Amino acid sequence: MRALRTILTILGALIVLIGLVWIGQGSGYFPYPASSFMINQGPWILRGALTAAGGFILIVAARRLLR
């Protein structure tokens, strides 16, 4: 059970990181790569926020439910 909790926590952290990158690209604060279709595109801010929230929920669920 401990290994599953660790794996889900790491997976949740990676999902949060991906969501933050999408927020950064959508808002134009992280314009890398320069040819990305996501730069300065508002829908990616919302998608990134939802993705980051999902990753955070996964972390909380892994830490609380898998004790």
Give tens-digit pLDDT for 20-45.
Answer: 999 999 998 988 888 889 999 999 99
C-alpha dihedral sign at 18, 19, 22, 24: negative
**CA pair distance 66, 51, nearest whole angstrom:** 22
Residue 66 pLDDT: 75
Domains held by the chain: number: 1
Domain hosting 31: range is: 2-65
pLDDT, mean of residues 5-28: 96
Tokens of 54: 């999902």
